[in-house]
A and B are shown apart, each in its own frame.
Chain A
Amino acid sequence: MKKKTTMGKSSREEYRTWSGIPVKNVYGPKDVENLDYARDLNDPGKFPFTRGIHEDMYRRRAWSTRNLCGLESPLKTNERLKFLIREGQAGIAIVPDTPTQLSVDADHPLVGPQVGTQGVPLYSVRDMDELLQGIDMEAMTFSISVCSAAAPILLAQVCALAKMRGLDLKKIRGSVQNDPIQARHCSYDIDNPFEMCLRLGVDAIEYCVKEMPSWHSVTVNAYDLRESGADSIREMGLALANAIGYIELALERGIDIDSFAHQMLIICSSHIDFFEQVAKIRATRRIWARLMKERFHAKNPNSMRLKIAIHGAGSSLTAQQPINNVIRGTIEALSAVLAGGQALDLSCYDEALCTPTEESAMVALRTQQVILHESGVALVADPLGGSYYVEHLTGQMELKIWDLLKQIDGMGGIIKAVESGWFRKVLEESAVGLYKDIDSGDRKVVGLNIFKIPEDQDNLIKIGKMHLEPGLEHVQRVKEFKQNRDLQRTKKSLKKLYRDALDREKNLMPSIIDAVSSKATIGEINGVLRLSYGRPYDPYEMVELPFAID
């Protein structure tokens, strides 16, 4: 069977979307004859929300334009944030550096070279305070891209800081990703006990229900699944399965579905395969609505309205002829907007090569602003709705995602599918397939495997320095922070956290917040939690907790 994914061949050959759905030359009424408007589409703002979660979509509230940001030190990042806010950015999106994501402190002997090079260091409540210096926490939505067990700890830093500033937690709006299943497979997670990660994740859900009603306790991270090789079907299928996993764990604790379902988001990728992106996002809203209503018996329409944040696909960018990434970003932003997303951050044109510069971050923001203010595409809700092709493809995506969900249910649910190794296997198969296609040229990427130009002539745009210098000054500051605190108080709070963690029934958020307020660092908190689960304090097994815990 001939497989083609790109144009340029005779129309008799078979073409497919990137996920392998066959694509015909043209679509007509026959392709949507099973579609029932009221059942499958309905008006925007109405169940099953295929056409969008709000009646008047972007006229009421434009999507949140933002840029993922995280540099060298909290203060440097704060400067960049203020620059982006001045330039019209509507929300704050932060990416922590890799040691923070791994919950390892900056003074750990192995991580020095990575402090502040790929994100902002957030080891303590002081770091969080410096990051948000001069920024009104009640006025801005604040999203932190962290999936692993570091997510509940960073959430605790936000809570501790809000309390320090005398703010009302109920008014703080934002999100952490808090998606430990995904973190285990495609983000940062070294050897933390799975049981512990899941517990902390659900603790955060439970805590937000009570204390932070305007905060999104879970942002299921479909994006990183896609970046790890999944196609659109697996991206959304696995992400929804993860969401179901967290929902079931929360329900087991007796939490009412309508008290937390609306605090869950999905962040997905907007990749270069334009129509498939639109279709997958529309299909995912429809599936979510039906899941909530039919499987989890939610009553509140807000539980059925899935908010989707979208990130322009980093993996679609090329290091070759990087100026072309501006065009890729534009296409990806357009599909995100036409699909009705709630927040959008684009990858910057230099992101395949370096941490984005101020210039590239500005272009990414301007791309969105041109689409919002000039192009007119945001004036009408779901403007592609009713297109024979888009509706057909939306239906196909939905079917295939349901199939995947059924398959996972058949394995006993997503936790079992993780434990059996199935999850990892599926991701790896997808990744290998994808890279084989690029390697062989079956999947064409301009500048990479077609229309290449010699490297010395590739001067279309200036690129920043590939690797930033590590924030060694910050390493020193973390050391000093640890020396200058009231160590007795810190120890006391960590010991309490340890004891509470041994009681497997207890919600750990209050004691983590207390530890953060007592100036315990992310590495110490994670280490103590690991100890309570019988693991070594340091995941690299190089350092020990400097005092006895029990």
Chain B
Amino acid sequence: MGQIKKRVLLAKMGTDGHDIGLKFIAHVLREAGMEVIYLGPYQTPEKVFNTAVQEWVDVIGISSLSGEYMTFVPILVDLLKRKKLDRTMRIIVGGLIAKEDAGYLRSLGVEHIFHLGATSNEILDGINASGGRERSGEGRSGKGPVRKRGVVRPGAAAVSGKGPPGRSGGRSSVGKKPGRPEERGTK
């Protein structure tokens, strides 16, 4: 039972601008035949969620080199749960993730955590093994909007496949005024 092309959204949330690693991952996933929607840095959880739904992705990859993942990943998980999409769209997290935070992230339902030094093969294997659609229709089963191919928001210019993954891609917001995430400390 072969899988169809995985659609993966890649983003960083908050103020952390270091995206060289994420750009490389985008390249690796594309080379492996996946469709990549590259949102880049400075996103809000709401923007990531809205784009994930609009593009109907299988996997949301969040990169973080700051401690901000502890604030924003729970908000993102919450948004997915509220729309009952948390089993359909799987979250993976990579970057500078403290070992002591890994358990908490897993308890939220984060499927994979890739620490520094993870190879691209490990990341590919992880994504391939992640939930998401298979040909049987499992996971899609008529729920959710049918993805409209070719309908690309201007903001997500770097969407899928060939376009250069630019930081400007995805800047223009999906949903003009995203709600304010609560201000909280790490944990």
Of B10-18, B125-133, B135-143, the stretch lying at the interface with chain A is B10-18
**Complex Cα gap A112–B68 (Å):** 9
Of A165-173, A238-246, A305-313, A463-471, the stretch lying at the interface with chain B is A463-471
Q: Are the C-beta atoms of A542 and B17 separated by less than 8 Å? A: no
Residues of chain A with a CB closer than 8 A to B166's CB: 421, 424
Of B76-84, B144-152, B175-183, the stretch lying at the interface with chain A is B175-183
**Complex Cα gap A102–B167 (Å):** 15
Q: Tell me, rounded to whole Å, the shortest Cβ–Cβ distance linking A476 to chain B.
A: 11
Q: Are the C-beta atoms of B181 and A469 separated by less than 8 Å? A: no
In A100-114, which residues have CB < 8 Å from any B CB?
101-102, 104, 109-114
Residues of chain A with a CB closer than 8 A to B171's CB: 190-191
Q: Are the C-beta atoms of B14 and A227 separated by less than 8 Å? A: no
Residues of chain A with a CB closer than 8 A to B67's CB: 113-114, 117, 466-468, 470
- Asked whether A113 and B186 contact (CB < 8 A) given A431-B23, A470-B67, the answer is yes
Q: Are the C-beta atoms of A228 and B20 separated by less than 8 Å? A: yes
Q: Is A360 an interface residue (CB 8 A)?
A: no
Residues of chain A with a CB closer than 8 A to B178's CB: 541-542
- Write out, one digit per residue, whether chain B residues 143-174 have a CB within 8 A of any chain A CB (1) or not (0): 00000000000000000000011111001010
B64: nearest chain-A partner, CB-CB:
A467
A228: nearest chain-B partner, CB-CB:
B20
**Complex Cα gap A469–B16 (Å):** 15
Q: Are the C-beta atoms of A98 and B66 separated by less than 8 Å? A: yes
Residues of chain B with a CB closer than 8 A to A190's CB: 42, 171
Tally A residues with Cβ within 8 Å of B.
50
Q: Is B119 an interface residue (CB 8 A)?
A: yes
B187: nearest chain-A partner, CB-CB:
A469
Q: Which of B24, B176, B177 contacts A435 (CB 8 A)?
A: B24
- Write out, one digit per residue, whether chain A residues 328-367 have a CB within 8 A of any chain B CB (1) or not (0): 0000000000000000000000001100000000000000
**Complex Cα gap A102–B68 (Å):** 15
**Complex Cα gap A365–B23 (Å):** 33
Q: Which of A99, A109, A352 contacts B181 (CB 8 A)?
A: A109
A183: nearest chain-B partner, CB-CB:
B17
**Complex Cα gap A102–B15 (Å):** 8
Q: Is A187 an interface residue (CB 8 A)?
A: yes
Q: Are the C-beta atoms of B164 and A421 separated by less than 8 Å? A: yes
Residues of chain B with a CB closer than 8 A to A469's CB: 185-186
Q: Tell me, rounded to whole Å, the shortest Cβ–Cβ distance linking B38 to chain A.
A: 11
In A156-177, which residues have CB < 8 Å from any B CB?
none
B177: nearest chain-A partner, CB-CB:
A541
In A440-461, which residues have CB < 8 Å from any B CB?
448
In B90-122, which residues have CB < 8 Å from any A CB?
96, 98, 116-117, 119-120
Q: Is B70 an interface residue (CB 8 A)?
A: yes
**Complex Cα gap A467–B95 (Å):** 12
**Complex Cα gap A189–B168 (Å):** 11
Q: Tell me, rounded to whole Å, the shortest Cβ–Cβ distance linking B85 to chain A.
A: 23
Residues of chain B with a CB closer than 8 A to A549's CB: none
A185: nearest chain-B partner, CB-CB:
B167
Residues of chain A with a CB closer than 8 A to B21's CB: 435
Q: Are the C-beta atoms of B17 and A541 separated by less than 8 Å? A: no
**Complex Cα gap A431–B185 (Å):** 33
Residues of chain B with a CB closer than 8 A to A472's CB: 185
In B12-38, which residues have CB < 8 Å from any A CB?
14-17, 20-21, 23-24, 27-28
Q: Are the C-beta atoms of B24 and A431 separated by less than 8 Å? A: yes
Residues of chain A with a CB closer than 8 A to B184's CB: 112-113
**Complex Cα gap A432–B20 (Å):** 9
Residues of chain B with a CB closer than 8 A to A195's CB: none
Q: Are the C-beta atoms of B164 and A425 separated by less than 8 Å? A: yes
- Asked whether A113 and B185 contact (CB < 8 A) given A228-B20, A541-B177, the answer is yes
A-B CB proximity, top 7 nearest: A467-B67, A98-B15, A109-B180, A319-B116, A112-B183, A466-B98, A435-B24
Assuming A428-B165, A436-B24, A467-B67, what are 11 further A-B pairs, CB within 8 angstroms? A109-B183, A110-B181, A112-B71, A112-B183, A113-B68, A189-B17, A191-B42, A466-B67, A466-B98, A472-B185, A542-B180
6 contacts between A and B (CB under 8 A): A101-B17, A109-B183, A111-B14, A113-B71, A465-B98, A470-B67
Which residues of B are interface residues toward A (Cβ below 8 A)? 14-17, 20-21, 23-24, 27-28, 42, 44, 66-68, 70-72, 96, 98, 116-117, 119-120, 164-168, 171, 173, 176-178, 180-181, 183-186
